[in-house]
Amino acid sequence: MRITVHSYILVIFLVFISAGCSKKENSYFPLSSGLKWHYNVALTTRDGLQKQKYILQNIGTDELNGESVFLRKSLNGTILYYSISDDGIYYLGNLDIRESKPIFFADKKIVIPTPFTIDTEWEQITYTRLLKKTGPPQRTEFKIIAEVPLEIKIESLEDTVIVPAGQFNKCMRIKMIGSAYKDAGNYVGLTLVNVEQTNWYSSGVGLVKMERIETTQSDALDKGTLLVELTEFESG
């Protein structure tokens, strides 16, 4: 469970910021040291519902190739690296607790481009993680890990979102939709995999809610969902 949630935090939860606001306190993805987020996470697969707590914390800055990078620590100790440029925020890579050195992507990944406006669109690759089922008769885990291209769009800056941490007004809503065919082997065969995700961000706070659903045309592994909700935000 933790691995699944962790991969979403890294890649999707990853990570959106308001254009031109990255160095201001009212950013949609604040990077100031000391900020801390607590989340409830609910994962539903064919194995049932699993719940977990998740925590992220900004831990300061470092220098990479002569440029400042921002560090964020996840619940399991993995450190995420971000950079700020004129055209947006980038996710650079991470330092896993099992490794002595960080691993950086060959091509840094755009989190959100600038200028920051409604109907801004971009693309991103995601991988399915929620389509899984365990046995019977044996305790064998069947899963579909499909590469899916996403079309991403900023749909609103005016949403009101209610989560355990409270009510947040004028939130940014980002919608992601994609599909791809995947040959999932003898258990499932060739099937169309669909991914739909919605993220909500509050200015000065960051991510307050995320909903993700992965579906297929197969009855054997038809759906998986992920819900992330903010329970507490510590501003230091």
The whole-number pLDDT of residue 134 equals 82
> Residue 147's domain spans which residues?
2-234
Q: Give the pLDDT mean for 211-217.
A: 95
CB 222 within 8 A of CB 215: yes
pLDDT band at 35; cut points 50, 70, 90: very high
Counted domains in the chain: 1
Residue 24 has pLDDT above 70, yes or no: no
Q: Give the pLDDT mean for 37-52.
A: 92
Handedness of CA 21, 236, 110, 174 (dihedral sign): negative
| Tokens of residue 197, six digits | 């995700």
Give the separation between CA 134 and CA 140, rounded to whole angstroms: 5
pLDDT digits (tens, 9 = 90+) for 63-93: 888 888 999 998 888 899 988 888 888 888 8
The whole-number pLDDT of residue 137 equals 61
Residue, of 27 and 138, whose pLDDT is higher:
27
The whole-number pLDDT of residue 86 equals 82
The whole-number pLDDT of residue 6 equals 52
Q: Give the pLDDT mean for 7-32.
A: 50
Question: Within 10 A of 51 (CB to CB), how many other CB atoms are there?
Answer: 11
Q: What is the average pLDDT value for the chain, to the nearest integer?
A: 84
Written as one letter, the residue type at 21 is C
Q: What is the pTM of this model?
A: 0.86
Residue 163 has pLDDT above 80, yes or no: yes
The whole-number pLDDT of residue 153 equals 93
Give percent of the chain with pLDDT exceeding 90. Answer: 48
Q: Give the pLDDT mean for 21-43.
A: 77
pLDDT band at 138; cut points 50, 70, 90: low
Written as one letter, the residue type at 30 is P
pLDDT digits (tens, 9 = 90+) for 197-212: 999 999 889 899 999 9
Residue 164 has pLDDT above 90, yes or no: yes
Residue 217: CATH number of its domain = 2.40.360
Residue 12 has pLDDT above 50, yes or no: no
Residue 156 has pLDDT above 80, yes or no: yes
Give the separation between CA 189 and CA 187, rounded to whole angstroms: 6
Give percent of the chain with pLDDT exceeding 70. Answer: 86
CB 19 within 8 A of CB 41: no
- 196 SS3 class: strand
Lookup result for tokens 């992220």: 56
